[in-house]
Chains A and B, each alone.
Chain A
Amino acid sequence: MRRLLVLPLVAIFVLCTSAAAMACGGLIGPNGNVNLLKTTTLAGYADGVEHYVTSFSFAGGGGSFGSLVPLPGIPTKVERGGDWTLQRLIRETQPPVLAFARSDSLAAAGAEKAEVILETTIDALDLTVLKGGGDQVGEWAKENGFSLPPDAPEVLDFYASRSPIFLAAKFDADAAAARGQNIGEGTPIHLSIPTDNPWVPLRILALGKQAQEQIQADVYLLTTKEPAILPLAKGLSLSRSEQGSDSLIADLRSDKGMEWIPASGMWLSYLRVDSSAGDLDYDLAVDVEGEAPSKIDAGIDPVPAAVPTDPPAPAGLPMWMLAGVSALVAGIGLTLGRKVQRRAAA
């Protein structure tokens, strides 16, 4: 299991009964339409804990929507995020921009049965931390009224093979409207996840998208030293890498729940995702020591298959029979090979 940590992003998918509202990263409506909104996420890391902050935006409409966020570990805390952290980061790196940071989505997931580890409600968001394999999480999603796109089984297995923890966020647009939540207004979420290194799921941003659709997202990293990042290619670029300014750190530390940020010495990395969905087949792996991020965490290398501790000996099949079958298979191979050679010679 990976040591990743945390993060981020996004999400996607699901939809349910609704007609229109949406939230972030990529939602698929019942009519198959996909709404694209830019996602902004902060993955901060200090004292062995990843602090993942993102926002689920209300885009109008009614009904409920959902999204799933793969996590590198079980969060010790899921709480409302500060009101200005993401906006302040955007202002730091994109000064003229007045737009709100908007982010992701909502959602949910679940097959034998996913284990529900934590449930909480923040504003109009119902958040559930799940533990389970791809099928289990998919089954949970179905049972909870979500409709998953056709690439969901593969994507959920991709993540579950590395970490079986998912955050399902279900956004109740009717509740949001009843609360007076305005269109475009986001609900920031802050997860604290103990982990060895920060990690941000990016591939899931492409869930439910056509291969040629463009995916855009901003990812901020705050680490105690300059991190090593993988990969930097195919639509992922490092736009800023610098010591966090005193004013930025002071502003962030003054936001709700952000006192975990050390008062000085934090390194700010700003990464931009601008990729077609078809190319976005990786995640963001980080090594906070500036060494070598894991290719497995980045989705570049597959997770090694588990090595059976006790090689299974087929019940009732004596070794001599196995040897005979092996010889038979080898013999067939040889015969076929000779036939091929003869045909080639002919």
Chain B
Amino acid sequence: MPRPKLALLLMVLAVAVSACAARAASGEEVTVTINHSRFHPGELTFSRGDTVTFVLVNDDPIDHEFILGDEEVQDRHEFGTEAHHDAIPTEVSLPAGDTVRTTVTFDKAGELIIGCHLPTHYAYGMKAEVTVKG
């Protein structure tokens, strides 16, 4: 097979696999890894009514957070003073090098954000987009 065609096919395959990984969320466990102060994957899609257990893997040597919510929620945490989160499934502290699980049910369709609001982390780009389809 000509190399360009093979390369195109492999690229298509890679995109397909990637898309599946970001969408494979519904129902079961979805692993979100933090490396170099970035969430991976950076985009996730679920359906309204999905109950998902996030496996949050902090690969960095520094602490992070997992704050799931709309922009208002993100703003509240960006300017808030809560140093630690462990009581709400959508708000989780992630110590350096640790793995934490939290289970969330998406009961409304819309656009959400996963963010980290430790000082300067959100501005640095520590956010991921979450789409909940109706």
Contact = CB atoms under 8 A, between A and B. Distances in A.
A135 B61 contact: yes
Which 5 A-B residue pairings sit nearest by Cβ, starting from the closest? A138-B61, A333-B9, A154-B36, A150-B37, A337-B9
B119 interface: yes
Given A135-B97, A138-B96, A139-B96, A152 B12 contact: no
A274 interface: no
A153 B35 contact: yes
Interface string B12-49: 11001000000000000000000111000000000000
A111 B123 contact: no
A128 B121 CA distance: 27
Interface in B58-83: 59-62
A340 interface: yes
A329 interface: yes
B33 to A, nearest CB: 12
B5 interface: yes
Nearest to B119: A32
B126 A150 contact: yes
Contacts of A210: 123
Interface string A305-342: 00000000000000000000000010011101100100
Contacts, number: 73
B62 A148 contact: yes
Q: Chain B interface residue count: which class?
A: 20 to 34
Nearest to B121: A150
B104 interface: no
A13 to B, nearest CB: 11
Given A30-B119, A139-B61, A153-B36, 9 more contacts: A135-B60, A135-B61, A137-B61, A141-B61, A148-B62, A150-B118, A332-B13, A333-B9, A336-B12
A142 B13 contact: no
A151 B62 contact: no
17 contacts: A31-B119, A111-B61, A134-B61, A135-B59, A135-B61, A136-B61, A138-B62, A138-B96, A139-B61, A149-B120, A150-B116, A150-B120, A153-B36, A153-B60, A153-B61, A210-B123, A340-B12
A157 interface: yes
B43 to A, nearest CB: 20
A28 B118 CA distance: 13
Interface of B: 5-6, 8-10, 12-13, 16, 35-37, 59-62, 96-97, 116, 118-121, 123-124, 126
Given A111-B61, A148-B61, A337-B8, A139 B36 contact: no
Given A151-B37, A153-B35, A142 B121 contact: no
B119 A111 contact: no
Contacts of A152: 61-62
B62 to A, nearest CB: 5
Nearest to A329: B13
A139 B5 contact: no
A261 to B, nearest CB: 39
Interface string A106-122: 00001100000000000
A137 B61 CA distance: 8
A31 B120 CA distance: 10
Given A139-B96, A332-B13, A333-B13, A150 B124 contact: yes
